[in-house]
Amino acid sequence: MPYQSMLRPGAFEARNIIVTGGGSGIGRCTAHELASLGATVWLVGRKEEKLKQVAGEIAQDGGAARYRVCDIRDENAVREMVASVYAEAKVVHGLVNNAGGQFPAPLSLISQKGFETVVRTNLVGGFLVAREVFVQGMNENGGSIVNITADFHNGMPMMGHSGAARAGMENFTKTAALEWAQCGVRVNAVAPGWIMTSGLDTYDPSMQQTILGLRHAIPLQRLGREAEVSSVICFLLSDAAAFVSGVNVRIDGAASLANAMFKMEPHTKSKPYQPFHREIVPKVLSEKP
């Protein structure tokens, strides 16, 4: 069974959309959904093996995907990567600025190198890709960009470097939405909370124990699914969002609104949206959240 998107079949027919970090997690899921809706997806990441595998999955499902190996922290590499996509695709209609990464640590133990590395990946790299996609074609042809931030709104304890970078990405989103609107370019963002992605398996054992109890701190009492983020990204890229620009949509099960004055009762009322036929459940989640 192919991807069962809520958007109409062919919604992205004949459109070229770049997805950074497309080799795993939310990027992989989003690439699958976009391809199922007719887009030619251009996967970007540092590891060719992962990109090649996802491109193969999409081809098996009847979709179209290409890939480019690129470290988005390298300005020249980004410029060359985007130029190579334009050379083949001619027009880029959308960009999903998904690539990122971080590691858990208290601020007092994060080195300058560690802090700067995360900021370069989660903020500078996203800026570079968006800038090049804009100056190399979207400034003439228009388009839509969706950036990825995070649930940083009340601070991000143990992830202060990522929180600072993601907050910067939200502000970049707003600035770009203003500056690039005259060229027909819309720029939005999504802020995922705790989502069931393969990235959860990369944390150390102590953090994984914390992950197992996260659902109790979320009003919807479960973790989100990759497809529940992808569906919002695809909407923001679509024509249905033609008058939406400069927003950062929270996809966190209302976790950012949790308040000590209101006791959350355990429940199982929230049912996940799961149209992704190739979903990979993280190993750390031994039972369904």
- pTM score: 0.95
Long-range contacts of 181-185 (CB under 8 A, 24+ apart): 181/245, 183/134, 183/138, 183/139, 183/140, 183/142, 184/141, 184/142, 184/143, 185/134, 185/138, 185/139, 185/142, 185/143, 185/144, 185/145
Q: Say whether pLDDT at 289 is over 60.
A: no
pLDDT at residue 132, rounded to an integer: 98
Q: Output the pLDDT for position 287.
A: 52
The pLDDT of 211-225, averaged and rounded, is 92
Amino acid identity at 161: H
In this structure, what token pair is assigned to residue 251?
Answer: 């996809």
Residue 77 structure tokens:
């590499």
- Show the CA angle centred on residue 43, arms to residues 59 and 235, nearest 5°: 90
3-state secondary structure of 3: coil
Tell me: the pLDDT tens digits for 33-77? 999 999 999 999 999 999 999 999 999 999 999 999 999 999 999
Among candidate residues 126, 136, 142, the one with its CA nearest the CA of residue 184 = 142
Domains contained in the chain, CATH given: 16-199+225-255 (3.40.50.720)
Helical axes 75-89 vs 125-133, angle rounded to 10°: 30
Share of the chain above pLDDT 70, in %: 98
